[in-house]
Structure 1
Amino acid sequence: MWTKIAGIILRNRVAFIIGVLLVTLFMGFQARNVQMSYENADLLPKTDSAYLDYTRFRENFGQEGNVMVFAIQDSNFYELEKINDWIAMGDSIKAQQGVTALMSITHTFNLHKNTNLRKFEVFPIFPKRIQNKAELDSLAFIAENLPFYDGLLINKNKHTYNMMITVSAEVMNSPARVELVRKVLDITRHFTGKHDLKMHYSGMPYIRVINAENIKSEMYMFILLSLLITAVILYLFFRSFRIVGFCVGIIGISVIWAIGFMAILGTKITLLTAMLPPLLIVIGIPNCVYMVNKYHAEYVRHGNKIKALQRMIQKVGNASLLSNLTTAAGFATFVITSSRILVEFGLIAFISITCVFLICLILIPSVFSYLPRPDTKQTKHLYNPFINEVIDKLVFIVMNRRNIIYYITIVLVIAGIYGITRMKTTGYMVDDLKETDPIRQDLAFFESNFDGLMPLEVTIDFLKPNQVFKLSNLEKLDQLNTELSQDPDLSKALSVVEAAKFANQAYYNGKASYYKLPSNMTKNFIMKYVMESTGGMNDMAKSFVDSTMREVRLSFRVKDIGTKKMEAKEDSLYKIIEKIFPPDKHHTSVTGSSVIFFKGNQYLIKNLFSSLALAIVLIASFMAWMFRSKRMVLIALVPNIIPQIITAAIMGYAGIPIKASTILVFSVAFGISVDNTIHYLAKYRQELQATNWSIRSSVVLALKETGQSMIYTSIILLFGFGIFCLSSFGGTFALGLLTSITLFAAMLANLILLPSLLLTLEKSITNKTFREPLLQIYNEEEDIDTTKLHIEHEEEKLTQ
């Protein structure tokens, strides 16, 4: 089969080159349309009960994660010039397109009872500009003594003052959000710069925008770094700028195709998909290394360039196909997770890696057929004394120290299994951010001063209309709020109960002692006042009660306590809620962005374990299909599973938790590391045929020939994945560090453990089916009749 493929490629090289270039131009044109993602990742499937509860909540009450907050801590806040500047800052922000509401201590309102019109009139407490200190002190006293705002906009004990803006859904989920956040930051920085204060920022709009911009900048940085590092390493190996430029050009084409596919399929750039271009560079370069190595080795053997290119395709093609297929399968298994972000990542990665193989298979022989013959400088890497010395030492260890190898392996596996038992599962909303990241530090500030920021919504459905404002139900809601607010991880609730208390206080002319629920006698009067009012409390009441007045929401803010603790908290919340609102008479739910996140994280981890298991099964099936030996497949899996155990153990000992970003490592690393196993076993099988079934000779010869490429590609992969350790995102950092560790361990296992197992087990695994595979491998010692190739005659003319 590969003989025919080689002939087709070399005879039609011009057409293939033109075809690849035309497709690249088309993909480059499409790549201009790729967009950044400014939305929360859909981690849960749409059929999940938690997702359905959240969807129903948003249909009834709107989006809850659209508030941006910023605050200062200042014991001298109430200075005349500073307060006027704070008011002006708020007014300027409120005027920005996309800001639908703004609240701060200077942008609060008070209720005044109009007995003639029988309604509450809403008046702002602070004017646009305050004239003197006496007026400021009077207004500050009024605002700070309204319990409704305490804990929401101010923390009097810590002198912290908060400003909150609500962003429209249209701007929230569009690129316009970037410009809005930039303008808000410019306005607030002008204020803090003038008064020498530090502003703390948080809220979902802010976090998403900053993260999205960081993702974009890191993607460009990693693309440049991966190209630079791989180019440097390639030059150190081959000592040829021509080869380096050509290999980097091939991978550059692959990246353009990948981004083009993203645009065509409507896949946006997320934290995961942003890693694909640099990942393709790192994963694609080994294809070039194996092919160029084989080309040079063949050319040195007989000096015929076209014959060397043809043999390169015949000898490396099958193993490269399977190695790329296994790598692609490692990513493709993410499709079973039903998580949109992982499905998109897995699909694009599978398509892109497949295209990398096809591009390398077409362009390397086609373009090299036009390039000058390799000189001694370019082929010098075949005789690298250091690498050859390393391989000779490995051969000695494999031949004479196998017992030591097995003892060390057993110790590592036992220590690894114990380390795995120490692994923990957790996840935080800002888990991907380092401890020193300003977003994480500011979130800790808000948790310390305002009991967290992550939205948590409790909804009570009374199953009958006009039930919410019954005094008995308001009292139950107040009891629920009181009990839940005692939780140190939860804020007090914002709900119609607080609105009713505020209205009762206003009904009694603002006396603080009347900030409580109205009595049964006054309730009807007060609620009539509220419903007759326009804006203010009436609008707020409507945003917390559905149109039929049968369902009500209580909005809490929860600290970022991690998925493990959040799971236990959800159970305790339901117990408290159902004690006050029995499930036989009410329908209750606990939802919000915080709940969706921890549910999605749990779902993701469970499904990533499934995808890892599927990757192992698929890759084992591919190897069985190629080698037709079940026992050989089992032996091949050993040097690739043990590195996974070692990495998992390191996570256990180092306290690195199991989360989506760390689980991802195992599927990715397994799909890549098995490539070396496939190349080694393919060469081992060829040597068996050439040495008349001499297992010891075949093991040594296969190790000497593939060992160099295995070391080269592993170095590229180590440095390539190592660049991700420069990321400001913890998940990307973990992917780089843990994958590098896994691939390094896999390289050693494939160079030492795999040959040792082949020698120890010998004929019990190297059976007849392995000798007669489903896909016939070209016999290396058999000469090729190049006279049948028209291209060979052209080559001779060109060199005359």
Structure 2
Amino acid sequence: MIMDRIACVIVARAHWLAAFGLVLALLLAGGLGRLSLDNSQRAFFPQGDEIIERTDWLAERMGNGKDAMILIYVPAEADVLSPFSLSQLRTVADEARALPYVIDTSSFFDAQKLAVVPESGSARDRLVALPFLQGADLFSDAGLAALKRDLVAAPTVLGRSLGRDFKSAAITLQVELDNPGEDDGLTRRERIDALKTAVDRLEAVVVEAEPGARVMLVGSGLFEHVSTEVLKYDVRRLFPMFGAFFVLTLLACYRSILFAAGSAVLIGLVVAATAGTMAWAGVSLSTVSVSGLLLVGTLAVADIIHIANGYFLNRSAPSNAAALEAAIRAYFLPVLATSLTTALGAAAMFMTPARPIAILAAVILVGVGLALLLTLMLLPAMLLACPRQDLPIHDRIVAGILRASRAARARRAWSLGVTGVVTIAAIFGIAQLVVNDDLAGWFDESTEFRQGMDLLDTQYLSLRTITLAVQVKDADRDALLNANDRIDPGYFGDLQRRLSAGTEGDWLSVVTAQQSWRVRLAERSEPNGFRPDPAMLSPDLGKPSSSVLADSGLLTQLEPGVADWSVSYFDATDPTTFGLLEQATRIEDLATAQGDAARAPSLQGVPYAFARTSAANFVGISIGSLGAMALVTLSMLLVFRSLGLALIAIIPNILPLLITYGAWGAVSGQLNMAAVGVFSIAYGIVVDDTIHLIIAYRNRRRAGLNHAEAIDKAIVSSGSAVLVTTVLLSCGFLLLSLSDFNLTAQKAGMTGCAIITALAFDLLVLPILLQWSGKRTQRMGGNGGEAQFQ
């Protein structure tokens, strides 16, 4: 047979294969010197994304750099408008101008406010723009209260000057990281590191005078810096933890220092060769795709353990070579099949528009192939040097698994009933899931980046804000340039009323800002906050100066001969991916209604582009997952050569995934980009145990055993290997779930739980299905069960 010839060749040439495999692994690992990281936020968007291009264009027209960041000062006494805190804030604002790569700053020290000033020699009043602090009494409660009212009523788009709870204040920074005035030879990431280091020094100065105070650099532009720092932390912490756990587990199970240490080296070579191969190919990795390297290391475990288990537990073979030949002959096909199914599951992620997710898929595919190749080349020589001995722990493992499996088969109705109830409950959990890719939510709450972004979201501006730009016509320009310098709210008022009535969320626009100021200046009520209530709109709106509107980001900067734009900002009530897209579609429809298309309205913003990418990722990976599931089932059909067994194999693998998603729906309710791909990745992995057990069962049936005996023998031959690989795989993934990068942590945690759940189904439910299928075949006239395999 072909398996006999393959086994003989591998064992006979074991040392030559090991030498060649070691050279190959080292050559591939040599590419690590070329390895580069790309953790930029823009890497998640498709090349030439029209929304991103429009966003950058609008930022340029408004005079804003695309690298706008926020410096937030949080006083220790939680009152930013106390005289001492104001002096500290002034120090921070002054020092902010000297930070590296900062080309402009703005805070309420620099901003203006509208004030009512009596006309000289007249009973009439007029509106004038004054510095915020001009005339402000900072040493009385009444003066500070007046300053608070002015700050709340002022429109600031890139960030409020003052937190909503008055416990922090913000300085907006315009940072130039890509083309600084003086080229210092540093990369963008290195410049961000330099900026962050300078802010840390500034915080140390502030804390020296005010222990307990904080100065935080906040903004999506820090994504690259934080992602890289989290990656470094994970590599230093999680990789050694998995290595130590792996070696100790193998040492406890097989009592061979050579095998435990050698296997750890083998896995290290697989991981290094995978990373090196990607580097040789010129592919930049990211925090997302580097997590795939640990995944590759855990997947290599399965190949090693199954072959090693067959070798160590073969006590009847006359020699190590004979035991190794028998192990390779028995497990070569299952290991090949499981590698194929894992690769097919990962391939579904190529359907994503997010490049880091696609690179993760490539890392897994390359790693799975190298894990199989290097295992077959390096493992045989290592095993031949490892003595076989009695391993009573495996006998105890098998005895426990057998008892559990027989108990489940003896109470078949109860076992299947529990399975049905859990599955139905999982469906309710799945119904609670929503897709929600929140940039800040990709990081753990313990990280400073997450804390800063949460503070920005709750106290300053929504992280899901999208913008609507509407062209200002010649008539509007004429009105803006006349002596009154006022914009006619007629068209904009009608548009705002339609938008407010047709959307669920808060608007900040020329119209809502005018209303907010009118209320403030008339002193008829307390100011209603940064996002005025759309219900307060009325036809007789106040008319602030166009220069103030432009400075606040509600109009583009006026340039002769260049089209100008009015800019509105929208925060959706439902910030989930599809909820945001639904609102965006509604806004576009409303903005182009009643002949408004002539004003070329356009919707843009990084959150909008991000939502589109997230939705395309969900749809693409969902379709890819269905395709991967079909291909994995086809692969099992070819391996089993039985449609019945292939269909049976789906049940103990699809149900654990449904249960995992259901549990996640009950616990979290949200899926991010990586968690969406868990289905295809986990399905490709969890079928491994099923394949090993069914092949062992099929071989025993062909040898003439009845159903119960064949199931028991399959568990005896593969049960301990299946349990050990599940423990190592699941623990590897669960360790990865400790990452501070939630995009990695959620994916790994869900996959680890799916692997554990799938093992329970393979050992408790799969035998029931096999027994039921075999008895049904016999009743239909099958030849002792043999016919079903032909």
Common fold: TM-score over 0.5: yes
Pairwise CA distance, 1:256: 0.5
2:195 aligns with 180
**Cα gap change, 1:215/1:23 in structure 2, threshold over 3 Å: closer, same or farther?**
same
Q: Is residue 343–residue 368 contact of structure 2 (8 Å, CA) maintained in 1?
A: yes
Letter in 2 for 1:677: T
Q: Distance in 2 between the 1:618 and 1:156 partners?
A: 54
Distance change >3 Å, CA 558–CA 215, structure 1 → 2: farther
The answer (yes or no) to whether the contact 1:493–1:555 under 8 Å persists in 2 is: yes
1:32 partner SS: helix
Partners of 1:435 and 1:156 in 2: how far apart? 21
Compute the displacement of 1:343 (Å): 1.1
Alignment CA distance shift 1:694-1:156 (3 Å):
closer
What per-residue deviation string (whole Å, max 9, x for no partner) do you get for residues 314-363 of structure 1? 22111101101111211111112233122111111111111111111110
Q: What amino acid sits opposite 1:35 in the alignment?
A: S
Q: Residues 19 and 177 from structure 1, CA distance in 2 versus in 1: closer, same or farther, beyond 3 angstroms?
A: farther
SS of residue matched to 2:268: helix
Supply the distance in 2 between the matched residues of 1:408 and 1:261 (Cα, whole angstroms): 46
Structure 1 pair 684–546 and aligned structure 2 pair: CA distance change class (3 A): farther
Which string of whole-angstrom CA distances, capped at 9 and with x for unpartnered residues, describes residues 260-302 of structure 1? 133234443434213112212222112111111111233x212
**CA–CA separation in structure 2 for the residues paired with 1:357 and 1:259:** 16
- The farther-off stretch of 244-253 and 29-38 is 29-38
Equivalent position of 1:229 in the other structure: 245
What secondary structure does 1:727 align onto? coil
Q: How far, CA to CA, are the matches of 1:656 and 1:542 in structure 2?
A: 39
- Cα deviation, residue 675, structure 1: 0.2
Amino acid at match of 1:186: R
1:611 equivalent to 2:624? Answer yes
Determine whether 1:39 maps to 2:40. yes
For 1:110 and 1:397, the matched residues in 2 are separated by: 78
Distance 1:688 1:754, change over 3 A: same
- CA separation of 1:684/1:145 partners in 2, compared to 1, >3 Å: closer, same or farther? closer
C-alpha contact (below 8 Å) 1:223/1:277 kept by paired residues: no
Do structure 1's residue 701 and structure 2's residue 713 form an aligned pair? Answer: yes
1:397 corresponds in structure 2 to: 407
Alignment pair present for 1:313 and 2:328: yes
Q: Could you tell me which amino acid in structure 2 is paired with residue 667 of structure 1?
A: S
Cα displacement (A) at 1:50: 4.5
Cα distance in 2 between the residues matched to 1:385 and 1:143:
74
- Residue 182 (structure 2) pairs with residue 168 (structure 1): no
- Between 1:78-87 and 1:750-759, the stretch displaced more is 78-87
Q: What CA distance in whole angstroms lies between the structure 2 residues aligned with 1:58 and 1:547? A: 18
Q: Does 1:386 align with 2:396?
A: yes
The equivalent residue for 2:532 is none
Q: Write the mapping of 1:90-169 to structure 2, written as runs, cut at 5 A.
A: 90-108=93-111, 152-154=160-162, 158=166, 160-169=168-177
1:215 maps to 231
Between the aligned partners of 1:331 and 1:294, the Cα distance in structure 2 is 28
Q: Distance in 2 between matches of 1:350 and 1:240?
A: 31
1:599 alignment partner AA: R
Distance 1:156 1:386, change over 3 A: closer
Task: Name whichever of 144-153 and 327-336 sits farther off.
Answer: 144-153
Letter aligned with residue 154 of structure 1 = L
Contact preservation (8 Å) 2:436, 2:577: yes
Name the amino acid aligned to 1:162: A
TM-superposed deviation, 1:165: 0.9
Distance 1:737 1:142 in 2: 49
Superposed, which structure 2 residues align to 1:395-544 within 5 Å?
Answer: 395-397=405-407, 400-435=410-445, 437-461=447-471, 471=480, 475=489, 479=493, 490=506, 492-493=508-509, 544=557
Match of 2:370 among 352, 355, 370: 355
Q: AA paired with 1:23?
A: L
- Judge conservation of contact 1:216–1:274 (CA < 8 Å) in 2: no
Shift of residue 365 of structure 1?
0.7
Q: Which piece of structure 1 moves more, 739-748 or 320-329? A: 739-748
Taking the aligned partners of 1:210 and 1:645, their CA distance within structure 2 comes to 33
Change (3 A) 1:203 1:310: same
Partner of 1:276: 292
Distance 1:553 1:593, change over 3 A: farther
1:31 is matched by which residue type in structure 2?
L
Show CA shifts across 1:187-241 (max 9, x none): 1342144223233542112344224312331233221111122222111211222
Establish whether residue 238 from structure 1 lines up as the match of residue 257 from structure 2: no
> Amino acid of the residue matched to residue 279 of structure 1?
L
Determine if contact 1:202/1:443 at 8 Å carries over to the other structure: yes
Query: Residues 741 and 449 of structure 1: is their aligned pair in 2 closer, same or farther, counting only changes over 3 Å?
Result: closer
Q: Which amino acid aligns with 1:428?
A: D
Q: CA deviation at 1:393?
A: 0.6
**1:372-383 equivalences in 2 (<5 Å):** 373-376=386-389, 379-381=390-392
Q: Which amino acid aligns with 2:717?
A: E
Aligned residue for 1:623, secondary structure, equals helix
| Structure 1 residues 255 and 695: alpha-carbon distance in aligned structure 2, compared to 1, 3 A threshold | same
Query: Does structure 1 residue 570 correspond to structure 2 residue 584?
Result: yes
1:429-466 CA-partner distances (Å, limit 9, x unpaired): 3223345654444334333432335553222246x889
Per-residue Cα deviation, 1:112-161 (whole angstroms, up to 9, x for no partner): xxxxxxxxxx999999xxxx999xx9999999969756673235972642
1:716 aligned to 2:731?
A: no
1:758: which partner in 2?
770
Q: How far apart are the structure 2 equivalents of 1:417 and 1:707?
A: 30
Within the candidate set 340, 344, 352, 1:337 is matched to 352
For the Cα contact (< 8 Å) 1:282–1:717, is it kept in 2? yes
Q: Are residue 734 (structure 1) and residue 746 (structure 2) matched?
A: yes
For 1:727-778, what per-residue CA distance to the aligned partner results, in whole angstroms no more than 9, with x for missing partners?
A: 3344433334322322122111111222221221113699767645xxxxxx
The separation in 2 between residues aligned to 1:30 and 1:235, in whole angstroms, is 32
Distance 1:2 1:399 in 2: 33
SS in 1 for 2:601: strand
Match of 1:24 in 2: 25
SS in 1 for 2:597: coil
After superposition, residues 632-651 of structure 1 pair within 5 angstroms as 632-651=645-664
CA contact (8 A) 2:701 2:785 kept: no
Kindly tell me: are residues 240 and 37 of structure 1, through their superposed partners in 2, closer, same or farther at Cα, counting changes over 3 Å? same
Aligned to 2:339: 324
Task: Tell me the equivalent position of 1:795.
Answer: none
- What is the percentage of aligned positions where both structures have the same residue? 17
For 2:506 and 2:188, how far apart are their aligned partners in 1? 27
Distance (Å, rounded) in 2 between the aligned partners of 1:187 and 1:157: 24
Amino acid at match of 1:161: A
Kept in 2: contact 1:466–1:549 (CA 8 A): no
SS of aligned partner of 1:272: helix
SS state of the match for residue 313, structure 2?
A: helix
Tell me if the contact between 1:6 and 1:310 (Cα under 8 Å) persists in the aligned partners. Answer: yes
Judged with a 3 Å threshold, the aligned counterparts in structure 2 of structure 1 residues 310 and 405 are, in CA distance, closer, same or farther, namely: same
Equivalent residues in 2 for 1:256-295 (5 A)?
256-295=272-311
1:85 and 1:700 mapped to 2: Cα distance? 75
List gaps (5 residues or longer) in structure 2: 115-128, 180-186, 481-485, 522-542
Pair 1:711–1:75, CA change in 2 (3 A): closer
Structure 1: 5+ residue stretches without partners: 112-121, 506-521, 773-800
Give 1:387 shift: 0.9
Q: Which residue number corresponds to residue 526 of structure 2? A: none
Choose 699-708 or 478-487, whichever is displaced more.
478-487
- AA of the residue aligned to 1:280: V
Q: Which residue of 1 aligns with 2:537?
A: none
Question: Is the deviation greater in 633-642 or in 400-409?
Answer: 400-409
